[in-house]
Structure 1
Amino acid sequence: MHLVDIHDEFTHFMANMTCLSVMSVRYSSRCILAKKLRDCDRYTNIINYFELMYCDLKVRNESKEIGVLCLFVLIYFLFFCVVFICINEYYLPALKIAAIRLKLNEYLAGVLLVGVANSTSDFMLNFSAVRSGSPTMNLAMSNALTSICVMGGTIYVIMPFKINSASVFRDFLFVIFLLQLIRFFIQTDSPTYWVKGLIILLIYPIYLAVNIIDFLLMRYNIRKLRREIEILRYKRSSPMLDKKLYDKVTTLKDLEVDDDFKILRMKTRYGIFRAGVFVTPKPLVEPRKVDVESNRVLFHNKNNPKNRFLFTEFIQDLNPIDPEHWMFSGKYGRAALICVSPAMFLLRLAIPMVNYEQIKHGWSKLLNCIQIITNPFLVAILLETAYFTTHNNSWLINIYFDKALWSLAVTVPLSLIVFVDTRTDIPPPYHKLFSIFTIVTVVTLIWICSWEMEVIISIIGSVFNQSSNYMTVTFNAFSNAVPDMIAYIQLSKNGYGKMAFGGIVGGIVFDITINLGAQFARSNSESRHLLGDFGETIYIFLLLTVFSTSWMCLVLDFNARRSGGIFLWCLYVMFFIYVTLIEANVIHDFTADTVIEVKD
């Protein structure tokens, strides 16, 4: 009986042992342990890095381990390239189209579309095993701190823009309120956990409602001011009337700037640092508005055959190397194009292009008809494979497509119908619906790639004996910010600074409410599971960042300047140094020491 109890206890211990524990045993035992631990199947996704390292590559010493880590860094950059291509080529154009179709202004489009879409992959990642042991509150606060300091600082540095003062203070007050409410819930036992989770989850619809109501009131004020200005122009001129008219026209112009959203294209490239590091740059030529309808009908002629240049267009659009980029690139640029061409080819085969800046809005009849089949099939395979996540004693995941095959019953007939109904020289009216498939596919791919990137970062930290809490609030948080930062940089470079800033703040509110609300609602989590090491330090630095950014916006008259971006970068560097010194036991954390009372 005693031996049975020991066996059961050992089985339970192995079932609940984290995969990172593989690093704590000697090299000769790591392969066996990586195969035995069930968590290694769940912790990793596409590649079981532990089996690859210690079973297939037979790592038995530190020098070879460092060499394999260099290989993992290359894999990390491969996933980074996939994320970059997805966001730059497909994701951002689709979000701009969604903003125009919903008739949103630039800031609300950032809050409602960019923030939610960017944070959805992070929300999905929180349910994976790679984050099962991470304190959710620490993760949410470190992501928020990284978003404001790193991403916010970056868009400040790239391009100047005017921020709406009411939007900044309103959204930052929501962030502060959320932080204080969640800290209160962590420290109290009542109400029950599911009630706490429900309260936190309800804050996000309230936040969206406040933003939408403010947006509608702004448009009401615009219409009201236009009527008042029209009446004043027909009245007899006087100094008092002229001043009143001038004030109303000025107010109207400011509101119209905040209400405007256009598809823009930069006419020329510009050097970000051409005027010096501390000088806020401006484009050599202002962005010009894209004529969406002209791009759509440019090649259209009713006399053309319905399938004119069908295969020529298909080959050109499927080509992973852009001939124009190839012509104007140097040898290193061409080498980079060749390296990313396999990934680019697969993405072009699977993800539809919907871009109002391109001729025919990116429509390619034969390619889009094929994508009607390949796109849902790819998404279904990714989701089904990630759900099962089994490797069967191999370093590569098993691909499941049983459920994905059922999608062909719908997509193949639909593809044939679209092929018969459409022309090659003009996109159909429903071409914009392809952007929905684009956004869903890109979010899914970013989720998969972010999972792989976070596993690699965690393994590197474990090899160098860094605590999981330290890696969570520093390198993992920065790695999580990489996909979002790509999106915000591209938005800022193309003149959508307010959209990028709205996406940052809206993404923070979405991330905190959804992730923490779901964490409270699904389990009776103790406070130590939500707020781990460095929690108080992150909280203080996050409040300091929010108040500093608000004060900086007020001082600069809500103009984003390069000096403000550099200040935010410096603030993040201070946080990183401070946390690193805490990890090295050089300085003390803000958390109070545990006092053990001795009773007589």
Structure 2
Amino acid sequence: MRSVLLIATLITALRSDYVASQNPSALSQLTAVNRTASGNNRAKENAITPTVYVLKNSQDQCDKVMNLSASQRCEFVRSTPDCAADGGFINYPWITFCLLSPKLLPLAIFLYIVWLLVLFLVLGLIASEFFCPNLSAISSTLRLTHNVAGVTFLALGNGAPDVFSAMAAFSHPQTAGLAIGALFGAGIFVTTVVAGSIALVKPFTAASRPFLRDVIFYMAAVFWTFIILYRGHIDLRETFGYLGLYILYVVTVVVSACVYNRRIRSHSGTVQDSVQEFDHNIENSYTENLNGNIHVQDEYEPLLPFTESTANIFLRAINPVDTRTWRRSHWGWKVLKIIQLPFEMVLLLTVPLVDSDKEDRNWKRPLNCLHLITAPLVCVLTFKSGIYGLYLIEGAIPVWLLTALIGVFLSGMVFYSTTNEHPPPYHFLFSLLGFVVSALWINVVASEVVNVLHLLGVILRLSNTVLGLTLLAWGNSIGDCFADITIARQGYPRMAISACFGGIIFNMLFGVGLGCLLQMLTHNNGFVMLQPEGLLCWVLAAALGLSLVLSFVLVPLQCFHLSRAYGVFLLLFYVVFLLIALLTEFGKISV
């Protein structure tokens, strides 16, 4: 809490100096000039390079609203396309500058920060309780090994908030800096704060080959991204190169595991636990974390079998609170659970959940039949902000109504052809449906996170890059941070350090690769121009590269032993980086 207050005080002081140094009249004149110049520049760019989609934050006109008087802001927000709620369901600029009084602006900022924390909480809820279990069921159905499932489905489940946030940020030119700042900022946060905290909690000796492998692949991804930012554009081949690099990483993990297993079997028929942990820390983490927690047998199961009514099955399935867990839990957990309740109820009613660890694979006949109606409705009403769901077929029947009618028909067929006790042979299809619906929910929440951060940047006059490397990176990484520290405290620091690097490799390669690829496909362009936001972006890239080089050099010099002193060094490195980044953002450091 003290560090948060210190950072807030520093930001306020620096921002006040920065704003006070500006001339209001000059700002108004500069705004008019910038509008004309920006319009002319866009016209020239469209005339000369119509096949290039430019992700350029300087095109954002909405950030100039704070230079206007309070009476002019509402009209400016209404007439400026960059202030429109494209890609989200809530028009935050209109609420802030048209619906609320200018005197309530501090209150609005506070409420947006609270809402942002709630959105991060919902992101974690969807990923851990719905997205990951369905991915686990899919991997079990496909009979994938733990190594393959870990570096594919588990990585997708753990990195879903980061990847979807990056994709949502890349979808608009004015928020592209959020994606770059979040991916680089999360990389620095994980490799310094999370890794340093693990070393402080449980000093250990890292597995040499997996550690070097992960660091080398991540260094390659960061260096590639640095080159693309320096060149200022990325083409279609390079986006596929990002995805291909991750496929190469997956192949390397699988092949190294197979080689290690063969070598162990050739030397000994049994594998000692200490040796097995050497190169199988990732595999163990995948086994325990694929569902977000370890399933334990319910000690309250009835001694005699009984038949439960359909109504009771439905009511028990949609109850998000276990009374026994509630009584044993800490008050902090109860507060978070109360905040999650309305969102969890909506998710339970709309997202099918298949649990491969349960004997009945979580088959709830009445609720699963309801999912056949609600899940498709969520798909058509959330994809592209619901524009396809509201489309009228032949000018008469909306798509959402036709979808609901088809869902009712399928639901009736499943209900009358199945029983409450035994799941049908096609039950695994519900895991695919749950995967799609939970992914769409994650995309919706991630879009709202990006829109809130963009508005906060407009109000506080902060660049998207600094918001990405702080709020967005912290929000997406804080859950992994606590999970990895908990794993380390339980005596598995190698597992925790493997999860650190494996997740950020996936986030970087898929966040940039898929984000830019979707923009090329959406706009039918062969290039995406990436223009960084000045010096801060290069400070961010240099800090991440330096942290990786230091880990690559210092850890082997210590014989791969991560001591508490090294953990303190990593934490101090992040504090220095954050201070330099803030000073750069507010113009105290310039070139």
Q: Same fold (TM over 0.5)?
A: yes
CA 1:28/1:484 → structure 2, altered by over 3 Å: closer, same or farther? farther
The one-letter amino acid of 2:455's match is I
Q: 1:284 aligns to what?
A: none
1:411 and 2:382 are equivalent in the alignment: no
Is the 1:93–1:354 contact (alpha carbons within 8 Å) kept by the matching residues of 2? yes
Q: 2:251 aligns to what?
A: 212
Is the 2:167–2:515 contact (alpha carbons within 8 Å) kept by the matching residues of 1? no
Rounded to whole Å, the distance in 1 between the matches of 2:137 and 2:363 is: 14
CA 1:492/1:331 → structure 2, altered by over 3 Å: closer, same or farther? closer
Is the 1:204–1:510 contact (alpha carbons within 8 Å) kept by the matching residues of 2? yes
The one-letter amino acid of 2:110's match is C
1:435 and 2:431 are equivalent in the alignment: yes
Q: CA deviation at 1:313?
A: 1.9
CA 1:362/1:555 → structure 2, altered by over 3 Å: closer, same or farther? farther
The one-letter amino acid of 1:145's match is I
Q: TM-score scaled by structure 2? A: 0.73
* 1:201 aligned to which of 240, 243, 265: 240
Rounded to whole Å, the distance in 2 between the matches of 1:542 and 1:224 is: 36
Q: 1:364 aligns to what?
A: 364
Q: 1:283 aligns to what?
A: none
Q: 1:222 aligns to what?
A: 261
Q: Which stretch of the first structure deviates more once superposed, 376-385 or 80-89?
A: 80-89
* 1:166 aligned to which of 209, 216, 220: 209
1:579 and 2:575 are equivalent in the alignment: no
CA 1:185/1:261 → structure 2, altered by over 3 Å: closer, same or farther? closer
Q: Deviations over 1:510-557 (max 9, x none)?
A: 224444666789465556x14633122112211121123334654676
The one-letter amino acid of 1:40's match is C
SS at match of 1:126: helix
Rounded to whole Å, the distance in 2 between the matches of 1:330 and 1:562 is: 30
1:353 and 2:392 are equivalent in the alignment: no
1:94 and 2:134 are equivalent in the alignment: yes
Rounded to whole Å, the distance in 2 between the matches of 1:406 and 1:371 is: 16
* 2:116 aligned to which of 76, 93, 97: 76
The one-letter amino acid of 2:130's match is Y
CA 1:205/1:333 → structure 2, altered by over 3 Å: closer, same or farther? closer
Q: Deviations over 1:547-584 (max 9, x none)?
A: 23334654676577776655444322221111112233
Q: 1:545 aligns to what?
A: 547
Rounded to whole Å, the distance in 1 between the matches of 2:354 and 2:566 is: 35
Is the 1:115–1:510 contact (alpha carbons within 8 Å) kept by the matching residues of 2? no
Rounded to whole Å, the distance in 1 between the matches of 2:82 and 2:388 is: 13
1:27 and 2:70 are equivalent in the alignment: yes
Q: 2:25 aligns to what?
A: none
Higher helix share: 2
Rounded to whole Å, the distance in 1 between the matches of 2:541 and 2:149 is: 28
CA 1:517/1:141 → structure 2, altered by over 3 Å: closer, same or farther? farther
1:458 and 2:498 are equivalent in the alignment: no
Q: 1:134 aligns to what?
A: 177
CA 1:467/1:385 → structure 2, altered by over 3 Å: closer, same or farther? closer
Rounded to whole Å, the distance in 1 between the matches of 2:354 and 2:489 is: 20
For residues 105-116 of structure 1, the aligned pairs below 5 Å read 108-116=148-156
CA 1:116/1:491 → structure 2, altered by over 3 Å: closer, same or farther? farther
Q: CA deviation at 1:456?
A: 2.3
Rounded to whole Å, the distance in 2 between the matches of 1:423 and 1:89 is: 25
The one-letter amino acid of 1:449's match is V
Q: TM-score scaled by structure 1? A: 0.72
* 2:102 aligned to which of 42, 60, 75: 60
For residues 298-317 of structure 1, the aligned pairs below 5 Å read 308-317=308-317
* 1:45 aligned to which of 75, 80, 88: 88
SS at match of 2:117: helix
Q: Deviations over 1:435-486 (max 9, x none)?
A: 3333333332222222222332333333333344433443344345457668
CA 1:499/1:464 → structure 2, altered by over 3 Å: closer, same or farther? closer
The one-letter amino acid of 1:547's match is V
* 1:474 aligned to which of 458, 470, 476: 470
Q: 1:322 aligns to what?
A: 322
For residues 116-265 of structure 1, the aligned pairs below 5 Å read 116-117=156-157, 118=160, 119-129=162-172, 131-132=174-175, 134=177, 140-153=183-196, 164-185=207-228, 187=230, 196-216=235-255, 218-219=257-258, 221-223=260-262, 225-226=264-265, 229=268, 254=278, 263-264=287-288
The one-letter amino acid of 1:219's match is C
CA 1:331/1:149 → structure 2, altered by over 3 Å: closer, same or farther? closer
What RMSD in Å do the two structures reach over aligned CA positions?
A: 4.5
Q: Deviations over 1:246-295 (max 9, x none)?
A: 9x998677456665577549xxxxxxxxxxxxxxxxxxxxx99858xx88
Q: CA deviation at 1:434?
A: 2.7
SS at match of 2:84: helix
Q: CA deviation at 1:121?
A: 0.9
Rounded to whole Å, the distance in 2 between the matches of 1:429 and 1:156 is: 47
Is the 2:199–2:563 contact (alpha carbons within 8 Å) kept by the matching residues of 1? yes
Q: Deviations over 1:298-336 (max 9, x none)?
A: 8899x976xx43211211221233322333357776555
**Percentage of matched positions with identical amino acids:** 20
Is the 2:181–2:467 contact (alpha carbons within 8 Å) kept by the matching residues of 1? no
CA 1:36/1:585 → structure 2, altered by over 3 Å: closer, same or farther? closer
Rounded to whole Å, the distance in 2 between the matches of 1:257 and 1:137 is: 30
Q: Deviations over 1:13-43 (max 9, x none)?
A: 8997622322221111111111222222245
SS at match of 1:534: helix
Is the 1:175–1:509 contact (alpha carbons within 8 Å) kept by the matching residues of 2? no
Is the 1:69–1:460 contact (alpha carbons within 8 Å) kept by the matching residues of 2? yes
SS at match of 1:134: helix
Rounded to whole Å, the distance in 2 between the matches of 1:478 and 1:517 is: 26
The one-letter amino acid of 2:244's match is P
Is the 2:151–2:502 contact (alpha carbons within 8 Å) kept by the matching residues of 1? yes
How many residues are treated as equivalent by the alignment? 523
Q: Which stretch of the first structure deviates more once superposed, 100-109 or 377-386?
A: 100-109
CA 1:526/1:412 → structure 2, altered by over 3 Å: closer, same or farther? closer
